[in-house]
Amino acid sequence: MMPILIFIICLAILIIIHELGHFLVAKKNGIKVEEFGIGLPPRIWGVKKGETIYSINALPFGGFVKIYGENGEHIDEERSFSAKKPGVRAKVLAAGVIMNLIFGIFLLMIGFNIGVPAVVTEETIPNMKDIKLAVLEVQKDSPAELAGLKMGDYILEVFYNNEDKILNPKVEDLQNFTKKYAGKELNLKIERGKEILEIKAVAREGIEAEEKGALGIVISDTGLLKYSFFRSLWEGLKNGLMMFVNVFISLFIFLKSLIVEGQMIGEVAGPVGIVALGSNIVKNGIGYLLQFLATLSIYLSAINLIPFPALDGARIFSILIEKIRGKAIPAKTENLINSIGFVLLMGLFVFVTFNDIMKLVK
């Protein structure tokens, strides 16, 4: 229960960071902010300082900022969002995206300095420690699944009849061992969280082993990647920006597959799936949690920049159209488009949440 609670709090912080970006830039540009809320209504507690209500709300899922005139109203009032120049409005809208990106990069910098999990490569191995053989995927109905092996386990030792034994095996070691003892029952000593367990699995043999793998697992040599202070700053910045660009491009490919081809929807993880995954990651230590939260924060920044109705990217895109046309899109039209987009997003939200629950039940 505690890992789930910790992760929900961390997830809420990412959303609050996003809203804080909108809040700070709006204030800096003289726009009236009516409320800055932690959590979602109904309101539990609130205090008004100056012109802004600072509130704590009942639903602990992120936060919100209520900006005066954000939906096209009060256009004749100087401190209204709608009355500001296009450039100022674009800065306010982009601030949430930028805050999530900066926060994600910051978390990566910290992670690279204290050590984050990574796959062993020629480039990373000089800066790695605690190298172990990690289970990245377990195939359904495979010898590994039947034996109880799970994604995230580390294989510390493999042996047969207490005779032939390999300590701290690498990928190639395990592959050769399962070929040597195809069809035989092997003992695997594994690390799962803070537990050390021993399981037995019968390696496949023949054509089935060649086609599906001897144990039916995807494995990789992984370890903790740790850099010096100044190197970690550079690696965090570089990896964060690369991740942002890759995610942004991947999202367009995903939307094309989703809208045009109707594919991939079953692979989308919703809030339940993310919390379930995140709570497991919390158990593995701070390095894993930092890396996962950094990735989520950068994903949030990229998702919000997509020009899909109801997202910040769509509103920035409408400001760009306004600059090109020389006049704004009518507020009623823009609000209608954003409302439709919001309904579609909520539909996707409900679908993937249901999908997550079904996966957990199964």
Structural domain boundaries in the chain: 2-115+231-361, 119-225
Q: How confident is the model at residue 207 (pLDDT cuts 50, 70, 90)?
A: confident
The residue among 355 and 117 whose pLDDT is bigger is: 117
| Residue showing tokens 């296009």 | 86
| CB atoms inside a 10 Å sphere around CB 122 | 6
pLDDT tens per residue across span 95-114 = 999 999 999 999 999 999 99
Residue 190 has pLDDT above 90, yes or no: yes
Distance, CA of 82 to CA of 89 (rounded, Å): 8
Asked if 319 and 97 count as a contact pair (C-beta separation under 8 A), the reply is: no
For range 131-157, the mean pLDDT: 89
Of the CA atoms within 13 Å of residue 242, those in its CB half-sphere come to 7
The two tokens of residue 172 are: 């190639």
Of the candidate ranges 9-13, 77-81, 122-126, 139-143, the one whose mean pLDDT is the lowest: 9-13
The residue among 90 and 10 whose pLDDT is bigger is: 90
Reading phi first (left if > 0) and then psi (alpha if -120 to 50, else beta), residue 166 is in: beta
| Nearby residues of 353 by Cβ (< 8 Å), 6 or more positions away | 270, 271, 272
In CATH, what number does 119-225 get? Answer: 2.30.42.10
For range 281-288, the mean pLDDT: 71
Q: How confident is the model at residue 119 (pLDDT cuts 50, 70, 90)?
A: confident
Distance, CA of 153 to CA of 195 (rounded, Å): 10
Average pLDDT, the chain: 85
Q: In terms of Cα–Cα distance, which of 240, 355, 254, 241 is closest to 308?
A: 254
Distance, CA of 20 to CA of 300 (rounded, Å): 14
Asked if 165 and 189 count as a contact pair (C-beta separation under 8 A), the reply is: no
Distance, CA of 211 to CA of 13 (rounded, Å): 45
The residue among 208 and 356 whose pLDDT is bigger is: 208
Please list the residues that pair with 197 across neighbouring strands.
Answer: 190
70 catalytically annotated: no
Burial 277-287 (b: 16+ CB within 10 A, else e): ebbbbbebbeb
pLDDT tens per residue across span 40-95 = 889 999 999 999 999 999 887 778 999 999 888 888 899 999 999 999 999 999 99
> Residue 296's Cα: distance from chain center in Å?
3
